[in-house]
């Protein structure tokens, strides 16, 4: 067992049960309270407590949770780019070509496996709770919670749309309008095991886009860098919506076309992520610079003659000068 939180009941507390206090002051869900009951993880003034016990101002409440790693996440050495980590969360900058979490026959080499290994080497045990996922060949920021309480708070933000996520995509063709919204339902395609398509019988999907900049040559039809935000989180949503709108992402092997640089994956990057910290409610916002393969594509589309594909990633150019936090 490890301590999740220790807090004194405030003098303004009007009175009531421990369950009521945990719900009101710490936002504990029914499912998390059920886990705490099962593991006997609730203490008041050093004594084991029940959720029906009355708590009073000045009482010290301690909440303990068993530390565990999900059984399907095997610790493995995987290179991780850790942007931020504390006792509740960890934020990674995912490279293209790696899966976030074991799924669909991929049980090793994922970010989750690497996190389990990272903590094992430090003598720590945490749960692996990804808040959201990125496609294997999409790069950028991915947030993990280390325990169910943090995940519960962050997931609630995601559902309320308090969580801020923006993506950058380099697309074929340059939209005439500076911004717009794609509101088109998405469903599985009947002719492919994983591909999606816009379908009036599908799930609601809404994507907002903004043109960051447009390119002319070297492609006759032009190109653009778009900044995107989502109201929904359907599988392949950005890729499907941009293809449907006539501006497929460069390098997207399912929905797009080959990039002028021979980019081996879709030119899509999760560039920024903002959220309220689950413990302190402080607003955190991070950005991840473009990886080198997208920096190269940006330079080629911009007409820059000499570009090294091994140059350091940069947040300038397509991102309009944003810097890594």
Give 58-98 as a DSSP string: TPEEEEEE-----TT---------EEEE-SSEEEEEEPTT-
Lowest mean pLDDT among 41-55, 206-220, 246-260: 206-220
Query: Once rounded to an integer, what is the mean pLDDT over residues 126-137?
Result: 93
Sequence length of the chain is: 325
Rounded distance between C-alpha atoms, residue 43 and residue 46, angstroms: 6
Q: Which of 88, 93, 135, 298 is catalytic?
A: 135
% of the chain residues with pLDDT over 90 = 77
293 is catalytic: no
pLDDT of residue 87: 94
State the Rg of the chain over Cα: 23
SS3 at position 44 = strand
DSSP class of residue 226 equals E
Q: How many CB atoms lie within 10 A of CB 61?
A: 20
The count of other CB atoms within 10 Å of the CB of residue 199 is 15
Q: What angle do CA 142, 148, 151 make, to 5 degrees?
A: 35
Integer Cα distance of 278 and 179 in angstroms: 33
Nearest to 203 by CA among 166, 231, 229: 231
Backbone angles phi, psi at 294, to 5 degrees: -80, -30
In which residue are the tokens 């929904």 written?
232
> What pTM value is reported for the model?
0.87
Q: Nearest-CA neighbor of 97 among 129, 42, 38, 140? A: 140
> Residue 1: which pLDDT band, with cuts at 50, 70 and 90?
confident
Cα 34 to Cα 283: distance, rounded to the nearest angstrom: 29
What mean pLDDT do residues 43-64 have?
A: 96
Examine the pLDDT at 155 and tell me if it is beyond 80. yes
Q: Tens of pLDDT along 239-288?
A: 999 999 999 999 999 999 899 888 999 999 999 999 999 999 999 999 99
Over the stretch 219-234, which tens digit does the pLDDT of each residue have? 667 899 999 999 999 9
**Across residues 18-25, what is the average pLDDT?**
95
Cα angle, residue 288 at apex, residues 285 and 294 outer, rounded to 5°: 150
pLDDT of residue 319: 47
Model pLDDT for residues 77-102, shown as the tens digit of each residue: 999 999 999 999 999 999 999 999 99
Between 182 and 257, residue with greater pLDDT: 182
pLDDT of amino acid 317: 43
């Amino acid at each position: 067992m490890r301590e999740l939180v220790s807090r004194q009941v405030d003098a303004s507390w009007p009175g009531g049960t421990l369950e009521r206090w945990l719900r009101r002051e710490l936002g504990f869900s029914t499912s998390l309270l059920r886990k705490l009951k099962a593991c006997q993880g609730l203490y008041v003034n050093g004594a084991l407590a029940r959720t029906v016990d009355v708590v009073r101002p000045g009482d010290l409440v301690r909440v303990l949770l068993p530390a565990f790693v999900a059984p399907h996440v095997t610790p493995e050495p995987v290179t991780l780019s850790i942007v931020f980590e504390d006792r509740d969360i960890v934020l990674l900058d995912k490279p293209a070509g790696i899966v976030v979490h074991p799924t669909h026959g991929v049980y090793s080499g994922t970010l989750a496996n690497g996190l389990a290994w990272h903590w094992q080497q430090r003598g720590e045990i945490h749960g692996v709770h990804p808040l959201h996922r990125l496609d294997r060949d999409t790069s950028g920021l991915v947030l993990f919670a280390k325990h169910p309480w943090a995940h519960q708070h962050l997931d609630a933000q995601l559902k309320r749309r308090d969580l801020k996520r923006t993506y950058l995509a380099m697309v074929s063709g340059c939209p005439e309008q500076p911004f717009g919204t794609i509101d088109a339902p998405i469903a599985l395609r009947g002719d492919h095991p994983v591909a999606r398509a816009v379908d009036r019988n599908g799930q609601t999907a809404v994507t907002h886009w903004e043109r960051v900049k447009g390119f002319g040559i070297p492609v006759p039809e032009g190109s653009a860098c778009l900044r995107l935000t989502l109201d929904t989180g359907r599988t392949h949503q950005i890729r499907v919506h941009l293809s449907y709108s006539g501006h497929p992402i460069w390098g997207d092997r399912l929905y797009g076309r080959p990039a002028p640089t021979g980019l081996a994956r879709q030119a899509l990057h999760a560039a920024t992520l903002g959220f309220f910290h689950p413990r302190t409610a402080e607003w955190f916002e991070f950005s991840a610079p473009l990886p080198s393969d997208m920096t190269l594509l940006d330079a080629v589309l911009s007409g820059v003659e000499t570009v090294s594909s091994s140059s350091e990633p940069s947040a300038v150019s397509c991102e309009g000068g944003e810097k890594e936090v």
